[in-house]
């Protein structure tokens, strides 16, 4: 009986750090994306002269990415801990894999973008710097649109499925996750006007985190599937 009470208490309190980590991730990534998306022109043929005046703001956004990634890893870990024995191993594999791939590609994108800015700003020959810039921007746009956002969509679907099967979130909230994930998965990778759709993911994590935090203060535990 004592062990059962400990397990119940563990699963009641576990969502709090997960929610805090999710909120931190959402805030940091939203700030980073807003800074980068506002600064970066959508036309890949741009010669990059805007970096001279806006490069510092862009670098600030990139410097926030590692901390957002760390918070996201905590979010993944505590969500799995919260589900405990209720976790579906099949869906959980997709959940964990897509989350790790998302973080990895987010770091790669930031490294390429930061290197491009550094090379452009410190290159005396502007024609050579323009080549660096064009190559770097093309790669970052491709990673963001074709790969990183797709993994975010898969993560949203698998997370919504896990939380819905354990009745940890309302069905309406799970449905919101499915709809937003479909937008990320099936939107065109080359529609520049929709690049701001990247904000969907951190805002969705914020929504889930706030709900989990509310459930934590209410003392609600994860129902068993069995």
User: Is the residue at 226 inside a domain?
Assistant: no
Q: Where are the alpha helices (DSSP H) in 2-50?
A: 2-13, 15-39
User: Is the residue at 222 inside a domain?
Assistant: no
Domain of 22?
2-217
pLDDT value of position 214: 84
- Cα–chain-centroid distance for residue 34? 14
Q: At what angle do helices 200-218 and 149-165 cross, to 10 degrees?
A: 20
Side-chain-facing half-sphere of 3: CA atoms under 13 Å: 0
pLDDT value of position 115: 83
Q: Where are the alpha helices (DSSP H) in 84-170?
A: 89-122, 126-142, 149-165
Give the chain's domain count. 1
Tens-level pLDDT at each residue, the chain (226 residues):
444 444 444 444 455 666 788 999 999 999 988 887 776 655 555 555 566 666 677 888 889 999 999 999 999 988 887 777 777 778 889 999 999 999 999 999 999 888 888 777 776 566 666 677 777 777 888 888 888 999 999 999 999 998 888 888 889 999 999 999 999 988 755 545 446 788 899 999 999 988 888 877 776 554 444 3
User: Is the residue at 75 inside a domain?
Assistant: yes
Q: Which residues contact 90 (CB under 8 A, 6 or more apart)?
A: none
pLDDT value of position 211: 87
User: Is the residue at 223 inside a domain?
Assistant: no
pLDDT value of position 182: 93
Q: Which residues contact 75 (CB under 8 A, 6 or more apart)?
A: 18, 21, 22, 25, 205, 209
User: Is the residue at 133 inside a domain?
Assistant: yes
User: Is the residue at 54 inside a domain?
Assistant: yes
pTM, rounded to two decimals = 0.81
pLDDT value of position 33: 85
User: Is the residue at 224 inside a domain?
Assistant: no
């Amino acid at each position: 009986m004592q062990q059962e009470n400990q397990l119940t208490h563990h699963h009641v309190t576990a969502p709090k750090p997960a929610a805090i980590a999710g909120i931190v991730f959402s805030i940091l990534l939203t700030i980073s994306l807003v800074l980068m998306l506002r600064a970066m022109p959508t036309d890949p043929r741009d010669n990059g002269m805007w970096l001279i005046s806006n490069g510092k703001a862009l670098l600030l956004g990139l410097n926030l990415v590692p901390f957002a990634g760390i918070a996201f890893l905590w979010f993944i870990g505590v969500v799995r801990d919260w589900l405990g024995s209720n976790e579906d191993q099949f869906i959980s594999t997709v959940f964990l894999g897509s989350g790790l791939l998302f973080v990895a590609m987010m770091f790669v994108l930031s490294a390429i973008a930061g290197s491009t800015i550094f090379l452009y700003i410190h290159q005396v020959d502007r024609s050579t710097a323009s080549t660096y810039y064009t190559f770097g921007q093309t790669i970052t746009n491709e990673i963001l649109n074709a790969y990183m956002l797709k993994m975010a969509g898969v993560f949203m679907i698998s997370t919504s499925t896990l939380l819905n099967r354990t009745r940890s979130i309302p069905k309406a909230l799970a449905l919101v996750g499915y709809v937003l994930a479909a937008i990320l998965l099936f939107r065109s990778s080359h529609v520049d006007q929709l690049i701001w759709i990247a904000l969907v993911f951190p805002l969705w994590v914020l929504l889930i985190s706030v709900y989990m935090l509310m459930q934590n203060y209410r003392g609600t535990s994860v129902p068993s599937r069995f």
